[in-house]
Structure formats: structure tokens, C-alpha cells
Amino acid sequence: MSERSGPSPGEAMSEPELVSALAAPGEREVELSLRPRTLAEFIAQPRVREQLEVLLRSAQRRERPPDHILLSGPPGLGKTSLAMIVAAELGAAIRVTSGPAIERSGDLAAVLTALGPGDVLFIDEIHRIARPAEELLYSAMEDFRVDVVVGKGPGATAIPLDVEPFTLVGATTRSGLLTGPLRDRFGFVGHMDFYETAELEELLARSATILGVRIEPSASEEIAGRSRGTPRIANRLLRRVRDYAEVRADGLVTRDIAQAALSVYEVDQLGLDRLDRAVLQALVEKFGGGPVGLSTLAVAVGEERETVEEVAEPFLVRAGLLARTPRGRVATAAAWHHLGRTPPPGSATFQTGATTGRFGLASEPDLFTELE
Ligand SMILES: Nc1ncnc2c1ncn2[C@@H]1O[C@H](COP(=O)(O)OP(=O)(O)OP(=O)(O)O)[C@@H](O)[C@H]1O
Ligand SMILES: [Mg+2]
């Protein structure tokens, strides 16, 4: 289901990852109904939206398919939604595939030669495309032709095939892994940022309308603040809070109901879950705030090293609660405050998302890549 370990002995089924930015199994189907269909419906990301709008309108004016588009950013911020919107705004058909699905160049050649004029080809996780297929993509993107190799060894021949003019939309959570030649062939690169709390409130209001959930603005604010700047998490928390409101109350989601529900699901004010808090607590209470090595910290919370490093830490770092130093992990002053404790003098202070309510680090893609 997610990168976190399965049910541990003595525990019932492990709880679903409420604050993971990755889609849970079956979740993409649930998300379909919440997906914005037009640029106007797409909330926030003003920069990318405006850039795309200009790109699409000018292409339409010239009656040519727009330049190839690369969308990069962390999971759950709306890359797939935007790809669908590009096609819808152009009134074009969209073909969807993904990097891992294209193992051989022949797979890609089949997809490319089946495209109609002006179609949009969406390749998700494009950084994972196999190298021979990637090379085929170069000529398709640049010259709208591909050389399909027939046969093997010395008798192999390359048959050039035309590809209809199309627009490639690539999505990646790891733009740092894209090769230079591939990246250079995109005429437009859109970087997605984490969302502000106010933007997620707007998104939640829209989702609530679609789902038929009655929600008070103060409750949207409560949920938005715990959503880690990520629409997928906001929508997921909304669904869980709705369930709670239906079972424990009359269905109306008030701030009190949202708070009660999220405390039942163990998602705190900053969007930390049980493991995140256990890591911070161990760091502060058992090791005086650190520095402490990753392995020691993992033993202290009874988890695998990888789980702590890959599941808990990225957000703790992003939120300015934990720092990775050459000597080990360190709790920042904000972490002490978050646990309701007074930081010792001289403990690390960082400008934190926790205090500004903004997690703007995605605008520095390298940082995101490093944390992954
Ligand atoms: N700007 C937005 N406005 C409204 N809803 C949004 C927006 N961005 C994302 N969403 C919602 O969040 C969900 C996840 O978005 P999406 O699948 O597009 O993310 P993604 O970046 O493709 O994620 P992944 O990297 O996991 O593929 C969508 O179903 C959609 O409902
Ligand atoms: Mg996606």
C-alpha cells in the first residue's frame, strides 16, 4: 500500500497512510471525481497556470500543437490533473502511458505511430523510461519521425516512420534524474509548488461541494493546515472527516468535528502522524534533541532505518522540525515547541513551515530530490 511497513505483530491491520503524498491503491479512482477539468477550475499554482494558458492559447492561435510540456514536482500536487487539462483545453485526444510501462523502444514506437494529429501523449514518471525508448523519443519530439529497427544483428534495418504532430506532456517527481537531452527537448517546464493553507481551503471547499459534504469554513481551515501543502492529502483527510461527521454527528463538518476526527486518526496540527511524532519525541526525550545517529533513532522508535529515513524524515525536515547534520539527527527549536517543551539554549533554529504556515521548499527542486 505504501512505503511504510505492513502490519506489525500484535497490531491489527496497519492503518492507511493518511498523510502520505503517494496515492493509496484504488485512490486514483476516487480522485477522478475531484479532478479539475479546466485551467480555471485548477486551484492555485498561479505561475504554472498562467504560463500554460499563454502557451496553449498561442498554439491555438497558430493552429499548431504547443511545445512539449514537462511538469515536475512532488507527488499529489496536480501533475496528472494538469496533463488532462492541457488536452481538454486544446480539445485534443489524450493517450496515457508511463515510463515504467515502456520497456522496449518498440512499445513506444507503437504508441507514437498510433497518435492522431494534434493528440496529447502523456507519459507519467517519464524519468523511468528505458534508455533505448528515450532515444526514440528524441526524434519523435523534434522531427515527428521515428526509426523503427526491424530484425537483429547485421541484417537489422531501420525503417523511418512519420509521427503526426503531437504534444508530449511528461510528468516527473524526480526531474533531477532526467537526462539533459530529454529535458532540453521540452519547450516548457512547469514546476509545481506545495500549496498554501489558504489555497487548500479553497480546494477543500470545491471538493466538499462535489462530494456533497457540508463543511464550515473554519473546518476547511483546520483540515488544510494539516495537509502538508498537498491536495491529495487534503482530499483524503476530507473524506475521513466526512465519515466521522456522518457516524458521530449529523454530517455537518464543524471545526470541532474536524479536530475530533483528526485526533482519532492521529494527524496533528502540523499534519504529523504517529510515526513522525514518535521520531521527534525519541529525539527530544531520549536523546536531548540530538545529534543522534539514524540507526539509534530507528531502534528507539522500533522501526526500520529506511522507514525513518524515507517515510518520516522528509516531511520533518521540510517542516523545519528536524535537521540532518554530519553528526546525526537534530531536533530544531520548533520541534521542542511543537512537543510543548522549552528548547535548550542554543538549539537549532530554522525558518520553519511550522511558524510561517508555508512549505515553499518545492521551488528548490534539488532540495526535494535530495530529501526523497
Ligand atoms: N490545483 C488543484 N485543484 C484542484 N484539485 C487538485 C489540484 N491539484 C491536485 N488536485 C487533486 O489532487 C489529486 C491528486 O492530483 P494528481 O493526481 O494530479 O497529482 P500528481 O501530481 O499527478 O500526483 P502523482 O505524482 O502521485 O502522480 C487529484 O485527484 C485532484 O483531485
Ligand atoms: Mg500523477
pLDDT digits (tens, 9 = 90+) for 102-153: 988 889 999 999 999 999 999 999 999 999 999 999 999 999 999 888 888 8
Where does CATH 1.10.8.60 sit in the chain?
Answer: 197-264
Select which of 173, 197, 230, 352 is catalytic: 173
Q: Sheet containing 69-72: give its strands across.
A: 94-98, 120-124, 167-172, 69-72, 188-191
349 part of the active site: no
What's the CATH code, domain 274-368? 1.10.10.10
What is the Cβ-side half-sphere exposure of residue 59, based on CA atoms within 13 angstroms? Answer: 24
Specify the pLDDT at position 348: 66
Atom 26 in ligand 1: residue holding the nearest Cα: 75
φ/ψ of 202, rounded to 5, equals -60, -45
173 part of the active site: yes
- One DSSP character per residue, 65-133 reads PPPPEEEE-STTSSHHHHHHHHHHHHT--EEEEEGGG--SHHHHHHHHHTPPTT-EEEEETGGGS-HHH
The pTM (predicted TM-score) of the whole model is: 0.86
Spacing of C-alpha 132 from chain mean position: 27
CATH number 3.10.310.10 is the correct assignment for the domain at 45-191: no
Q: What is the DSSP letter of 39?
A: T
Select which of 4, 226, 228, 232 is catalytic: 232
What's the CATH code, domain 197-264? 1.10.8.60
At residue 175, the 3 state secondary structure works out as helix
Question: Which ligand gives the minimal distance to the CA of 74?
Answer: 1
Specify the pLDDT at position 103: 87
The 10s digit of each residue's pLDDT in 279-325 is 999 999 999 998 999 999 999 999 999 999 999 999 999 999 999 99
Where does CATH 1.10.10.10 sit in the chain?
Answer: 274-368
- Residues 349, 353, 359, 360: is their CA dihedral positive or negative? negative
At residue 31, the 3 state secondary structure works out as helix
193 part of the active site: no
Q: How far is 359 from 77, CA to CA, in rounded Å?
A: 13
Q: What is the DSSP letter of 227?
A: S
